[in-house]
Amino acid sequence: MSKTLQDIREELGECRRCELCETRTTIVFGVGNPTTQVMFIGEAPGKQEDLGAEPFIGAAGKLLNELLGIAGLKRSEVYIANVLKCRPPHNADPLPHQIEACTPFLREQVRSISPVVLVTLGRFATQFILRTDQGISQLRGRIQITGRFSVLPIYHPAAAIYDRAKLPVLEQDFALLGALVAKRREELGLS
Ligand code: URA
DSSP code string of the chain: -PPPHHHHHHHH-S--SSGGGGT-SS----EE-TT-SEEEEES---HHHHHHTSSS-SHHHHHHHHHHHHTT--GGGSEEEES-SSPPGGGPPPPHHHHHHHHHHHHHHHHHH--SEEEEESHHHHHHHHT----HHHHTT--EEETTEEEEEE--HHHHHH-GGGHHHHHHHHHHHHHHHHHHHHHTT--
pLDDT reported for residue 146: 87
88 assigned to some structural domain: yes
pLDDT reported for residue 148: 83
Mean pLDDT confidence for 156-185: 97
pTM: 0.97
Query: Best of 29, 31, 41, 82 to mutate for ligand 1, by most ligand atoms within 8 A of CB?
Result: 82
Encode pLDDT of 82-134 as tens digits.
Answer: 999 999 999 999 999 999 999 999 999 999 999 999 999 999 999 999 999 99
148 assigned to some structural domain: yes
90 assigned to some structural domain: yes
15 assigned to some structural domain: yes
Q: In one letter, which amino acid is 48?
A: Q
132 assigned to some structural domain: yes
Confidence band for 147, pLDDT divided at 50, 70 and 90: confident
145 assigned to some structural domain: yes
191 assigned to some structural domain: no
176 assigned to some structural domain: yes
How far is it, in rounded angstroms, from Cα 69 to Cα 75?
9
Q: What is the mean pLDDT of the chain?
A: 97
CA 91 to ligand 1 center in whole angstroms: 10
CA 189 to ligand 1 center in whole angstroms: 32
**Count of domains forming the chain:** 1
CATH number of the domain encompassing residue 150: 3.40.470.10
Q: Which domain holds residue 30?
A: 5-186
